[in-house]
Structure 1
Amino acid sequence: MFARALLMIASKIVAHAAFMLIAVVLARSLAQAEFGTFNQVWLFNKALLFLFDLGLPMSVYYFWPRLADRQKKGFILQTLFSLALLAVPFAATMYFLADSVSVQFNNPDLAGHLRLFALYPLVMLPASATEELLLSQGLTGRAAAFESFTKIAMIAAVAAAALLSHRLDWVLRALIGYGTLQLILGIWLVWQPVRHLKARWSVGDWTSQLAYSAPYGFSTLAAVANYQVDKVLVSLFNAPAAFAVYAAGAFEIPIAGVTAVPVVSVMMGDLTRHFAAGNIDEFLALWHRSMRKVALPVFAVTAFLMVFAEPTVTLLFSAKYASSVGPFRFFLLFLPLRITVLDYILASLGKTKAVFAAQLAATATNILLGAFLIRAVGWWGAALSAVLSGYIQSGLLANEIRKQLGIGAVRLMPWLDLVKVGWVAIAAAVACLPVLWLPVGGVWQLAVGGCIYTTIYGVGSLKVGAITMAEIQGLLRWGRNKLKAVWTRGDRQDRLRP
């Protein structure tokens, strides 16, 4: 499991780096108003995505361990068919609501771009379960390669369009082309392992999958809506250029996407089996071990960037986005919640309706509180409401997991270990504060601060037992073995080559 998780972590690093680079390239190559329009197009696309995929990709993790071999090809077919079917109303909704959304967002240019981008769901949605289907079949290497290759292709296409044309419409066309490539490759990879099997399909199997996935899909929609409420509110009350400044900072550093998400995805099958067998101790041991390890990079990034927010934002987006530092710091407060993926954990227990209820409550709170606060204190209110609702959502999900496992709050999380790592991260960050007073540029501040922070954080983590020398040596040994295997394989191929 360790090797599989590392492969997925590596692929997620590539994927999230690609998304970050897209934002950086577009912020520097498009006018502020066009960059704001791009963020509005992407915002509307993301909201509709989680409405129309109905949680089908996530349902793969729940159903696959329960399927007999004769059912697997039919299950893949019904998943791909369902997503292709749902892509049609997805695209139609984006196309026909373009004018209304444009009016609400005070952006006359938005409608044309939304109608153009309505083609994207048709090629993107059918491939959206590729990673889940490959991981469930044990094809972690293929899943990691698919994620890495497609995201590299994405940044290459978008960067080429942006830098050569400096026009948003060509950027959107590049994304549609990338989506077509992803669709073809994804279907081919998923189909290869099962192409020789006979397909068995029934309406009962299909309705069972939809009955499980739909509540989770709606809960994910509520979660995305909750995460995007602040941006919608800022769009409603500000011009596209002002929204661009807010959106440049109001994002989460994707550390969870490259740590907790792949780790939990890889172990979801084991969590489901432990819970079904009543092995709560084994369930908790596996889950807690993942949280302790994921907390190390998550807490480190949170504390470091809280100190070095200004040089980070201006280095990424240029000095004209200096005002984005405020929302950037607010959104860093989300990161301590990302040491695990609570909705995945609850989904592994089969409780997708509880996920939906928790997400809906948090979203309603965010809308009401955000609408009040943004009128009172501007975008600060929208950011504050977003963070508070995120903590409410996590609290509701954690409490439901606790009830399903039949344990107390003290046993739910490895609290002591998390507190130790948190204090080490804070101490290292405080020690780096004097670096901000150095009369050097942002790049040097980040470089010097990074060296000091890494040293203090690493030593501190060893001292409190958050990481051990045995684990470091084991990781290095694993890396050497992998490199040796690759080298040996290449050597063998050279000898066989005539």
Structure 2
Amino acid sequence: MARPGGILKQAGPLMLGRAGAAVVGFALPLILTRLLPQAEFGTYKQVWLVVTTAYFMLQLGLAQSLYYFLPRKDGRESAWLTQASIALVSLGAVCAAALYGSRFLVARQFANPELATFALPMALMTWLMIAAAPLEISLTAEGRVRTAAWIIFLSDAVRVGASVVPLLLGLGLHGFFWAYVLHGAVRFGLQCWFFFRRGRPQIDGTLLREQLAYALPFGAAILLEIPQRTFHQWAVGWSVDAATFAIYAQGCFQVPIVNLLYAPISDILQVRFAQPGVREDRALLFHDANLRLAAVFFPFTAGMVAAAPLFIPALFTHVYDPSVPIFRVAILVTPLAALPLDGALRAMGHTRYLFRAFLGRLLLTVPAVLIGLKLFGMVGAITGHALAESAVRLVMLDRVRQELSLAWREVLPWGQLAVIACASLAACVPAVLISGLAVAGPRPFLALCAAGTLYCAVYLAVIALMPGEGSPLARVRRVLLGVTAAPV
């Protein structure tokens, strides 16, 4: 049987690494909104939207395929890694050339001629990011989780430090983006160092076909998923100027805690699912991952909605107060991240199903966003995105339920989720009161700290006072850190 709480224990180093990276990475937008005029910050967000969209789409599932093949420890690890690495370097180069060649088209689409002047660093950033994509993934899949965690932390620390220095020296966005290129080159060099230390590169035609058969359906799904996830930003970016896009982009700001927890737990869940002899434990592993994520994402969502009028000005100044309603709608999607559906389906080999699900989600998202944008402006765009995302996540949950041979009452630990949800809502009361009193005050950060402290205290107190086995402290530990009994 799988150890209760094992997912959290194995993912712990990754979460610590991502936590350290989040601390330094979280500071970057705070610094940029204070160093850059609003229009320049909007230009930065447009460039980053182009780069990250290409980065996630052009991996074609090859980097992620290492989570599926490397944990097998079948003696063919070198071939799996060589094939993925060579393909990603090639794909990155093709993508970089295409981006540079289409620089004027991209600038015209965003109605921002300045974008074309950043074409070369934008292309190089994309190539180096794609080429270095297997770095942390391969280490995690091999069980070298601590090494991967250190690289995650140090990589983001170097990225933030190196990118801010040119701004402080007066080199502007050009210096900023070239610092990103330097950071990407360092990551790619490290990827090459680890690659050649593993031994002689190998390519096997039979294994390559097997790897592509797994990766390409998932990669095709990502080709649909990333446009779906970012379409609302593209639609708004094509409709407004750079300064207004900065308002929307900050409203869609992702607090790092989501990736901090979701990515490592989902990654470890995939590795555990792929290991031999765990088939009958998959439901328990899925419940365990779901509860660990929900224990943070549920209260996080409720608290952010309650304290949004303090959160946005505390981080980005009152200039970005119009972002608050957008942020409130965007954050409501976060509880869905407590369902590690993509990782579970990939680990079970259902990449073709993911392609169909992502296609359906894209076809649903495009009209929902465009209609919302037309009728209700930027808030309507993010609302259309949120509704489409929610509908398809429920369909994917049903597929996981079928694969695990569970009834609806068994697919999730409903009882424990209800406890977390009730505690999250009850804790909103002090946060709403403080937000209402201090929303127009000159020190929103202090008010946010007070609201957050009271929110956490009430949340933990409600969990501790809920009926259940053990002492109040034991109940809190059980909800936050692990399951001690079969989920209900």
Normalising by structure 2, we get a TM-score of 0.91
Q: Which whole-Å CA distance do the structure 1 matches of 2:419 and 2:236 have between them? A: 37
* Deviates most, 433-442 or 220-229: 433-442
Q: Which whole-Å CA distance do the structure 1 matches of 2:480 and 2:47 have between them? A: 44
185, 188, 202: which one aligns with 1:183 = 188
Q: Which whole-Å CA distance do the structure 1 matches of 2:85 and 2:472 have between them? A: 44
Shift of 1:298: 1.1
Residues 109 and 121 of structure 1: is their aligned pair in 2 closer, same or farther, counting only changes over 3 Å?
same
- Over residues 225-262 of structure 1, what are the superposed CA-to-partner deviations in whole Å (9 max), with x where a residue is unaligned? 11211111111111111111111111332322111220
Q: Does 1:83 align with 2:93?
A: no
Shift of 1:166: 5.8
Residues 45 and 326 of structure 1: is their aligned pair in 2 closer, same or farther, counting only changes over 3 Å?
same
- Over residues 99-141 of structure 1, what are the superposed CA-to-partner deviations in whole Å (9 max), with x where a residue is unaligned? 1121111111112213431111232212111111101111111
Shift of 1:311: 1.5
3-state SS of paired residue (1:56): coil
Q: Which whole-Å CA distance do the structure 2 matches of 1:191 and 1:22 have between them? A: 33
Q: Does 1:60 align with 2:66?
A: yes
Instruction: Write out aligned runs for 1:445-460 (5 A).
Output: 445-460=447-462
- Over residues 370-402 of structure 1, what are the superposed CA-to-partner deviations in whole Å (9 max), with x where a residue is unaligned? 112211221111111111111022122212212
Residues 250 and 176 of structure 1: is their aligned pair in 2 closer, same or farther, counting only changes over 3 Å?
same
- Whether the 8 Å CA contact 1:18–1:154 is kept in 2: the answer is no
Shift of 1:472: 7.0
14, 38, 52: which one aligns with 1:32 = 38
Instruction: Write out aligned runs for 1:324-363 (5 A).
Output: 324-363=323-362
Q: Does 1:120 align with 2:125?
A: yes
Q: Which whole-Å CA distance do the structure 2 matches of 1:124 and 1:26 have between them? A: 22
Residues 210 and 392 of structure 1: is their aligned pair in 2 closer, same or farther, counting only changes over 3 Å?
same
- Measured on the aligned residues, the alpha-carbon RMSD in Å equals 2.3
Flag structure 2 segments of 5+ consecutive residues without an equivalent: 1-5, 482-488
Shift of 1:300: 1.7
- Given residue 110 of structure 1, which amino acid in structure 2 is its aligned partner? L
- Given residue 396 of structure 2, which amino acid in structure 1 is its aligned partner? L
Shift of 1:468: 6.4
Shift of 1:322: 1.1
3-state SS of paired residue (2:113): coil
Q: Does 1:295 align with 2:294?
A: yes
Q: Does 1:109 align with 2:111?
A: no
* Deviates most, 140-149 or 247-256: 247-256
Instruction: Write out aligned runs for 1:237-276 (5 A).
Output: 237-273=239-275
Q: Does 1:442 align with 2:448?
A: no
Q: Which residue of 1 aligns with 2:165?
A: 160
Residues 163 and 249 of structure 1: is their aligned pair in 2 closer, same or farther, counting only changes over 3 Å?
farther
Residues 82 and 240 of structure 1: is their aligned pair in 2 closer, same or farther, counting only changes over 3 Å?
same
Residues paired across the two proteins, number: 470
144, 149, 165: which one aligns with 2:149 = 144
- Whether the 8 Å CA contact 2:295–2:479 is kept in 1: the answer is no
- Whether the 8 Å CA contact 2:30–2:315 is kept in 1: the answer is yes
Instruction: Write out aligned runs for 1:31-50 (5 A).
Output: 31-50=37-56
- Over residues 1-52 of structure 1, what are the superposed CA-to-partner deviations in whole Å (9 max), with x where a residue is unaligned? 4443111111112333444322222222112111111111111112212221
Q: Which whole-Å CA distance do the structure 1 matches of 2:452 and 2:121 have between them? A: 43
3-state SS of paired residue (1:259): helix
Shift of 1:200: 4.5
- Whether the 8 Å CA contact 1:117–1:172 is kept in 2: the answer is yes
* Deviates most, 443-452 or 145-154: 443-452
- Whether the 8 Å CA contact 1:216–1:356 is kept in 2: the answer is yes
Q: Does 1:469 align with 2:481?
A: no
Q: Which whole-Å CA distance do the structure 1 matches of 2:224 and 2:464 have between them? A: 40
- Given residue 338 of structure 1, which amino acid in structure 2 is its aligned partner? A
Flag structure 1 segments of 5+ consecutive residues without an equivalent: 478-498
